[in-house]
Amino acid sequence: MSFDNILVKEKNNIATVTINRPTKLNALNKATIQELHRAFKALNKDKRVKVIIVTGSGEKAFVAGADIAEFSDFSVNEGEKLAAKGQKKLFDYVEQLNTPVIAAVNGFALGGGLELAMASHFRVASDNAKMGLPEVSLGVIPGYGGTQRLPQLVGKGIANEMIMTAGMIDATKALSIGLVNYVVPQEELLPLCEKLAGKISNNSSVAISYAIKAINAGFSSDTDGFKEEIKAFGNCFGTSDFEEGTTAFLEKRKAKFE
């Protein structure tokens, strides 16, 4: 895979996708969103890849938002299309991926950057990270799922405050409201994400993909999470991972999933 705006590397069943536009604080332009879509699609198909870590290049920013220069002259119609396409190609796509995605938030995660972190399955931040949805300060609202995922993660009151004030919160505050799961010094960020990814990759990828589906179903108005859980639970019984996992337990050995 060759890209201009992102870097992709794979090691020990873990893929790391680095958004690489440091001079623009890794802002998400159209080309970067397209490349991220291609990369996530390919990595999701790659059976060797059990976990994906997404991060930003440099020490300053994860992603400082959608690229403002690209949409400043858009019409109503173009604005709507921008949000619809972005949600479909990247944000919903990441959330619905079978492969778990960890966002390693290594600095500013603003607007589309925080939205990408929130679409990931969970977040780990470095202690210099700053997060926020500043869109209303630009006369627009979050369009890549921010008005939906932020209240899901931190509750409606805090989400309302963050969106209405357009302010930034630091990593400690983000940890205290459950927006990120851990805060560590920057040099420990990727090692911690890799350690968590390692733990995840010892488990059944098939079962994890069913768990992602069931969890997401509970947050969608079109699906019943409990019903999806029952269906997914049943489906697990037909997998070789279930056979291996239960057999290994009964034989008092560690399961080896394909």
Give dist(CA 161, CA 179) in Å, integer: 14
Q: Does residue 24 belong to the site contacting ligand COA (CB under 6 A)?
A: yes
The answer to whether 54 and 101 have CB atoms below 8 angstroms apart is: yes
The answer to whether 86 and 30 have CB atoms below 8 angstroms apart is: no
The answer to whether 105 and 129 have CB atoms below 8 angstroms apart is: yes
Which of 53, 64, 97, 183 touches ligand COA (CB under 6 A)?
A: 64
Give dist(CA 50, CA 212) in Å, integer: 13
Give dist(CA 128, CA 171) in Å, integer: 7
- For residue 102, the minimal CB distance to ligand COA (Å) is 22
Q: Does residue 135 belong to the site contacting ligand COA (CB under 6 A)?
A: yes
The yes-or-no answer on residue 135 being catalytic is yes
Active-site position among 95, 115, 194, 228: 115
Residue 135 sits at the vertex; the CA angle it makes with 132 and 140, to the nearest 5 degrees, is: 160
**Contact region with ligand COA (CB under 6 A), list: 32-40, 62-70, 173-181, 218-226:** 62-70
**Contact region with ligand COA (CB under 6 A), list: 41-49, 58-66, 196-204, 215-223:** 58-66
Beta carbon nearer to ligand COA, 100 or 134: 134
For residue 82, the 8-state DSSP code is: H
Strand order in the sheet with 101-105: 6-11, 14-19, 51-56, 101-105, 122-126, 182-184
H or E element, residue 45: helix 30-45
Q: Does residue 108 belong to the site contacting ligand COA (CB under 6 A)?
A: yes
The yes-or-no answer on residue 251 being catalytic is no
Which of 25, 119, 131, 197 touches ligand COA (CB under 6 A)?
A: 25
Give dist(CA 118, CA 208) in Å, integer: 18
Beta carbon nearer to ligand COA, 173 or 231: 173
Give dist(CA 152, CA 148) in Å, integer: 6
The answer to whether 39 and 87 have CB atoms below 8 angstroms apart is: no
User: How many binding residues for ligand COA (CB under 6 A)?
Assistant: 15
Active-site position among 35, 95, 135, 194: 135
- For residue 96, the minimal CB distance to ligand COA (Å) is 23
Beta carbon nearer to ligand COA, 27 or 102: 27
Mask 136-165, x = binds ligand COA (CB under 6 A)? --x---------------------------
- In SS3 terms, 196-227 reads as HHHHHHCCCHHHHHHHHHHHHHHCCCCCCHHH
Beta carbon nearer to ligand COA, 63 or 211: 63
Interaction site with ligand COA (CB under 6 A)? 24-25, 27, 64-69, 108, 110-111, 134-135, 138
Task: Catalogue the active-site residues.
Answer: 115, 135
